[in-house]
Amino acid sequence: MTQPTLHYWYEFASPYSYLSAVRIGDVAKERGVKVIWRPFLLGGIYKMLELPIPPMQLNPMKAEYMWLDCARQAKRHGIPLHKPDHFPQSAVLPARVALIGLKEGWGEAFSIRVYQANFVHNQLISDVDVISQILAEMGQKPEHVMARATTPENKQALMAETQEAFDKKIFGVPTFFAGDEIFWGDDRLELALETAVG
Amino acid sequence: MTQPTLHYWYEFASPYSYLSAVRIGDVAKERGVKVIWRPFLLGGIYKMLELPIPPMQLNPMKAEYMWLDCARQAKRHGIPLHKPDHFPQSAVLPARVALIGLKEGWGEAFSIRVYQANFVHNQLISDVDVISQILAEMGQKPEHVMARATTPENKQALMAETQEAFDKKIFGVPTFFAGDEIFWGDDRLELALETAVG
C-alpha cells in the first residue's frame, strides 16, 4: 500500500503559509501522511490574473483583520508571530534556494527558517546575506548553494512550479492537494490530511 | 450576571452566512450565548471601499473554490446547499423585511427561510412574490409587512445598519462581534462564541 501523500504549496511572503509550515510536519506524521513541499511565487499568479499585489490591498479593513486572525491562530497553536515591517516581501531568492534544498533533503528545514526570519525575526528574506546566514547555520556552503540556485535551469524550474500552480487553479496560499482535491488555507490543513488518508 | 452576547452580522447573498444562520441557534444555545441578528447590505460596504461587487469576481479561481469549500462545509454540518443560478442576489428587500421581523420576534425564522429560498430552493429573494410567500407561510400578512418594510424610516434604518457595519470595519460576512472583538467567517463562529463566554 502506498503512503498517503499531501502536496503543500507555499509562498514565503504568506503568514498563513508560515503557520502551516511550522505545523505540517507533526500533524501529517500523526496521520501517517507524507508531505511534498512545493514552493512557488504567488505574485506570478496574481500577475497572470491581472490582480494587484497583494490583492488584499484593495480592502484595507480585510488586510488589518488578516493580521488579527493570524495572530489568534498563531496563539492557539503556540507559534510565535511578529508582524514584519516589510510586507509582503519578495520570495524569489528563498524560493529558488528552497527548490535546491528540497532536492538535497534540507529544503523543509530551510523553509521553516526562512519563515521564522520573516515572521519572527523581522528580517528581509530577499537579502542575500540573510539567506546566506540561514544556509551557514544549517551547515551548507552559502556561495555554492547560491550559485546553484541562480542558474538559468533553476530559475526556470521555479517558473515552471508557478505555472503548474496556476494550471492547478491555485489562487492563494497555503494550498494543499490530496490527489486532485484542492484545499485553501491553514485552517483547512486537517481536512486536507483526512482526505489524503481517505 | 448578564448573559454572554454575540452579534451576528449577515447578508442574504452570502452562502457562508447561510451556513451560520442555520447553525448559530444551536451552537450558541449550547454555550448559553444570546445572539443578536444584524442584517445589513455588504454591497453598500463594497461601494464605500470602491470595490467591484462581488470583489471575488476579480479572481474567478477563488470564486470557483468558494463553492467547493462551502459545499464541503455544508456537508460536514449536514446542511443542504444548492448553488443558485443567480449569484450574488440583491438582498435589499429581504433585509428590509428582516429588520421589521427582528423587532417583532419573527426575524430569525424569516432570515433562515430567505437563506433556504436562495441556497436550497434556487428562488429569487429580490422577488416580492417569493418574500410574500415566505411571510404567508409564517403566518404574517405579506402586504402589511411589505408596507412597513418599505417606509422611508425602515429604508433609512437598513442604511444605518450598513453604515454601522462599515464603522465597525466589517468587510465580509458572516462577521461576529464578541464585545469589541471581530471574527470573520462561518469557520470562526465557535471561536467567537468561546470569546463571548470569556
Between chain A and chain B, how many beta carbons pairs sit less than 8 Å apart?
48
Percent of chain B whose predicted confidence (pLDDT) is above 70: 99
Interface check for A61 against chain B (CB to CB < 8 A): the answer is yes
Chain B residue closest in CA terms to A69: B183
Per-residue pLDDT of chain A (198 residues; tens, 9 = 90+): 689 999 999 999 999 999 999 999 999 999 999 999 999 999 999 998 888 777 777 888 999 999 999 999 999 999 999 999 999 999 999 999 999 999 999 999 999 999 999 999 999 999 999 999 999 999 999 999 999 999 999 999 999 999 999 999 999 999 999 999 999 999 999 999 999 999
CA distance A132 to A110: 11
A24: which residues sit within 8 A by CB, 6+ positions away?
A8, A35, A189
Contacts of residues B181-188 at CB distance under 8 Å and 24 or more positions apart, as own/partner, are B182/A65, B182/A68, B183/A69, B184/A65, B184/A69, B185/B16, B186/B16, B186/B17, B186/B19, B186/B20, B186/B23, B186/B73, B187/A187, B187/B73, B188/A69
CA separation, residue A55 to residues A49, A52, A141 (Å): 10, 5, 37
The pLDDT of residue A40: 98
User: Which residues in chain A are contacts of B62 at CB distance < 8 A?
Assistant: 171-172
- List, for residues B165-177, the tens digit of each pLDDT value: 999 999 999 999 9
Question: What ipTM is given for this predicted complex?
Answer: 0.91
CATH number of the domain residue B109 falls in? 3.40.30.10
- List, for residues B97-155, the tens digit of each pLDDT value: 999 999 999 999 999 999 999 999 999 999 999 999 999 999 999 999 999 999 999 99
CB-based contact B51 A64, cutoff 8 Å? no
pTM: 0.94
Expressed as residue numbers, the domain containing B166 is 5-197
Surface-to-core class of residue A115, CB atoms within 10 Å of its CB (0-12 exposed, 13-18 middle, 19+ buried): buried
What is the grid cell recorded at A14?
Answer: 504568506
Interface check for B187 against chain A (CB to CB < 8 A): the answer is yes
Count of the separate structural domains present in chain B: 1
Dihedral sign (CA A49, A61, B170, B18): positive
The pLDDT of residue A50: 85
The pLDDT of residue B1: 66
Answer whether residue B58 shows pLDDT above 90.
no
The pLDDT of residue A1: 66
- Helices A92-104 and A107-119: crossing angle in degrees, nearest 10, is 150
